[in-house]
Homo-oligomer: A and B are copies of this chain.
């Protein structure tokens, strides 16, 4: 589990770093970003928030465009943001479209060939990456939350819902809330998990997972821009998730943002609010 430091830049008094490492779970070299806030110099153990990015992103988009470092420096929280899929494997078909394969791992564990050996982003995020972060950075173990955007917003929800108690809180910007029912999700799940008839899809869909959640109290903080083209194209379907939550009395908040689209301009506008939300839960 040796880490190689790819880059290190001082920002807002902390250090934004990028590391690469050989991953067991996904069988290739992976990169991830870590923002270490200035409070780390005081030998404190700090909470950590994981960020999962959306389709086509690498670790770079969030680091360069979210503006999260300012808030993380204020609150004294580490932020870790992994890549969105395995890379460099050259699996036939992994680079033919932007919404499947490279850049589009969907944070699930694939069951179908040729994906099942490497497209194990769920295990990578919820096990291997946590171990790496805990053993290499000044983390207060167990004090972790997770958030994400679009495909990564859904990834955050699934990681939290499938691992009761692992994360203190979860939030999602414009998540693909019900992938079984939208074109992006149907394409990805068919490829990674096989046909719908196998029944496997509902194990990886947040709108289904809230119905059978059992564990410590958890609240879903969902954020959605109302001028989001993918919302209008029915790729996101937050109303389905909210309806499912309502039916089973699962605590959920939907923040609607008038005039905002799907971009990092929207994320940047509200990332401070989300970090504050997670810190409240991480310091309880």
Q: Which residues of A contact B (CB under 8 A)?
A: 9-13, 16, 64-65, 67, 69-70, 225, 227, 259-261, 263-266, 268-269
Contacts and interface: CB of A to CB of B under 8 A. Distances in A.
Contacts of A269: 10-13
A67 B69 CA distance: 11
Contact of A10 (B12, B67, B264, B266): B266
10 contacts: A9-B263, A9-B265, A10-B225, A10-B265, A11-B265, A13-B269, A64-B64, A65-B65, A67-B67, A69-B268
Number of identical protomers = 2
A11 B266 contact: yes
A10 B265 CA distance: 7
Contacts of A225: 10
A195 B57 CA distance: 46
Contacts of A67: 67, 70, 268
A122 B204 CA distance: 57
B65 A10 contact: no
A12 B64 contact: no
A231 to B, nearest CB: 14
Contacts of A264: 64
Contacts of A265: 9-11, 16, 69
A35 to B, nearest CB: 10
A67 B227 CA distance: 21
A259 B263 CA distance: 31
Contact of A11 (B12, B70, B268): B268
Contacts of A12: 268-269
Contacts of A64: 64-65, 264
A9 B267 CA distance: 11
Given A9-B261, A67-B268, 6 more contacts: A10-B260, A10-B261, A10-B269, A12-B268, A12-B269, A16-B265
